[in-house]
Chain A
Amino acid sequence: MSLDLTKEEYIQETKDESHISMSQEKILRALESDDVRGHFEGTLDNQLILNMGPQHPATHGVLQLVVSLDGETVVGTIPVLGYLHRGYEKLAENMTFHEFIPHTDRLDYLSPLANNVGYVLAIEKLLKIEATERAQWIRTMCCEMARLASHLVWMGSMAMDVGALTVFLWTFTEREKILDILDILTGVRFTTSYTRIGGLALDMSDECKARLVAFLDQFIPKLENARNLIERNKIFINRCEGVGYISKEDAMSLGLTGPNLRAAGVGNDLRIDDPYLKYRELDFNVPTATESDVLARYYVRVREMYETVKLLRQCLQKLPEGPINTPDAKQVLPDKGEVYSKMEELIHDFMIVNFGNTPEKGVEAYQAIEAAKGELGFYAISDGKGYPFRLKIRSPSFTNLGALPTMMKGAMISDIVAIIGSIDPVMGEADK
């Protein structure tokens, strides 16, 4: 290709030669920006289009990035989503409220418990019921355990992105212990589907509580070990400090939430600002930073893990005794033992399983929770039938990834993986 070609001629030539598709052409056109367009004059000016992913180990799933480079510096980035699009919003409109719970596991597959809780809270608002005290406390613990598991995966994989492989193995060992606790609590390690509308699938056993206490007792020293390995490492600091900066104004305007927003100096946390479940009664801090680079996001998440441990200890202390299911026969699935022995319960079970819960016609509800990655919200609209008329999932990874082009501007090629790692995207959630 001659250097004298204009962008237009270049796109035309590539199109003729390689049967470029309409999507690819549009991406190339979107990459055109005025500051690099036109003829290349100096010998060092050289624009290159680099394609990363969707099959790339450092893009955390099937994220494709089309990067425009000037030398080694990133000029423009186009993230391409949709490789994991399964159409969950369409599926939700065609199944009962209960049937959708297992699908929420597959949204943010690193913290399935938090997704279960968020979804069920939204549907309970739609039905105008509330879970019992004990169920709410257990759900709060579920959210925090999910946050811990998710942050541990993030810590390991981000350290691996910038070259520290050992931390990955150490944090995964800790995560495995959480998954063992989830195994006792929910019956499975990974795709939990633990919550039910108006309650929970299973009660928390004493063994589970004891295991959780034992885990929390040994967790902080293990975390300190992992931190010591990277935080005093010159390579790690140099690769993170000052990389992927985003200004506070941009962070707000781009709709960032969660740790990414808090690292930009905005102390917004739905657990405090719009409390749900039992967070009103708990004492914790929201860590923030002002540097707004990769290192700041690292520190915000690491400090959050300490707060999470604090929260879990308080929850264990305050966990009350009592039933886990709301006594609302029309909306809450009855106990299986009663279904097999009592007529009334059998009828209700049949109705809920076959026709679904029935909210009032025309009711709408929105519930957001502070998931590990940011605000996870469900907007549900009912038309009085047993399945939602519309269910919109507001996933944190999706909007956080929208800030990627801004963070990427002016970074080097090798910084790309560090920036993606610091955003902590999960494509199952971003692609829905």
Chain B
Amino acid sequence: MAELLEKIKEKLSEANGFNGVVFTQNINYPMIEVPKERLLEVCTILRDEFQMEQLRDVVSVDRFTKNERFECIYNLYSLTHSTRMFIRVRLESKNPEVDSLWPVWQSSNWTEREAWDMMGIKFINHPDLRRMYMMEEYEYHPLRKDYPLMGLPGAVTLPKK
């Protein structure tokens, strides 16, 4: 696992033109911070050259700060190396948008739909960006920190009698 990480570090180093790719140790698994413009490229490299076959989850976070309020954390798993790895992208506060990973992993379809529904992060070039849990008429994104716990009165349109 450490070997694999070294190889990835070498590949994604600044010498190869990957500026802004940072390796952190904040979590009990390796985590790579990637600028959102390079996300699709880095993920394709990880899948094709380092056998990260699965995207197991997309974690969306609302930091509730003025700049870079939203975050997407991608949970990758390599079946060949039995290794888990996380990728983090930071997104702007207004209209958070990031490239969809649909071309790389099919599982991003549902996990990204969930992130869109709950946190309102838009995924560019997603094949079917509908809401996952809430109804389409719903205007809000409930997991954002400014959404009240008890919900908003009148947010759900009930069917007429």
Contact = CB atoms under 8 A, between A and B. Distances in A.
A89 interface: yes
A22 B135 CA distance: 8
B134 interface: yes
A345 B147 CA distance: 38
Interface residues of B, number: 40
B97 interface: no
Contacts of A375: 56
Given A89-B143, A255-B105, A21 B55 contact: no
Interface residues of A, number: 45
B128 interface: yes
For the complex of A and B, the 4 pairs showing the least CB-CB separation, nearest first, are: A255-B107, A82-B133, A273-B82, A22-B136
A250 B106 CA distance: 8
Nearest to B133: A82
8 contacts: A82-B131, A89-B143, A90-B142, A253-B54, A266-B79, A363-B26, A366-B75, A402-B107
Nearest to A362: B26
Given A30-B130, A365-B27, A379-B75, A23 B137 contact: yes
Interface in A92-109: 94
Interface string A84-128: 010101110010000000000000000000000000000001000
A379 B54 contact: no
Contact of A377 (B28, B57, B61, B109): B57
A255 B103 CA distance: 14
Contact of B106 (A253, A364, A392, A432): A253
Nearest to B144: A90
A341 to B, nearest CB: 37
B54 A94 contact: no
Contacts of A30: 128, 130
Contacts of A136: none
Contacts of B106: 250, 253-255, 402
A5 interface: no
A257 interface: yes
Given A94-B149, A363-B26, A379-B59, A431 B133 contact: yes
A45 B106 CA distance: 30
Nearest to B109: A402
Provide the main secondary structure of the chain B interface.
Answer: loop
B137 A22 contact: yes
A252 B143 CA distance: 29
B29 interface: yes
Given A392-B59, A402-B110, A377 B133 contact: no
A364 B132 contact: no
Query: Which of A125, A254, A392: most chain B Cβ within 10 A?
Result: A392
Contacts of A398: 110, 114
Contacts of A64: none
B36 interface: no
B93 interface: no
B53 interface: yes
A252 B28 contact: no
Given A268-B79, A392-B57, A89 B118 contact: yes
Contact of A125 (B28, B111, B118): B28
B116 interface: no
Contacts of B114: 398
A253 B107 contact: yes
Interface string B91-105: 000000000000001
Contacts of B122: none
A87 B73 CA distance: 20
A234 interface: no
A82 B132 contact: yes
Interface in A281-327: none
A255 B52 CA distance: 11
A37 to B, nearest CB: 16
B84 interface: yes
B68 to A, nearest CB: 15
A379 B86 CA distance: 11
Contact of B29 (A26, A366, A402): A366
Contacts of A239: none
A85 B134 CA distance: 8
A334 to B, nearest CB: 27
Contacts of B110: 398-399, 401-402
Given A23-B137, A255-B107, A398-B110, A364 B26 contact: yes
A26 B136 contact: yes
Contacts of B105: 253, 255
Nearest to A391: B59
A363 B139 CA distance: 32
A23 to B, nearest CB: 4
Contact of A85 (B79, B82, B133, B137): B133
A290 to B, nearest CB: 15
Contact of A366 (B27, B53, B60): B27
A91 B56 CA distance: 23
A278 interface: no
B107 A399 contact: yes
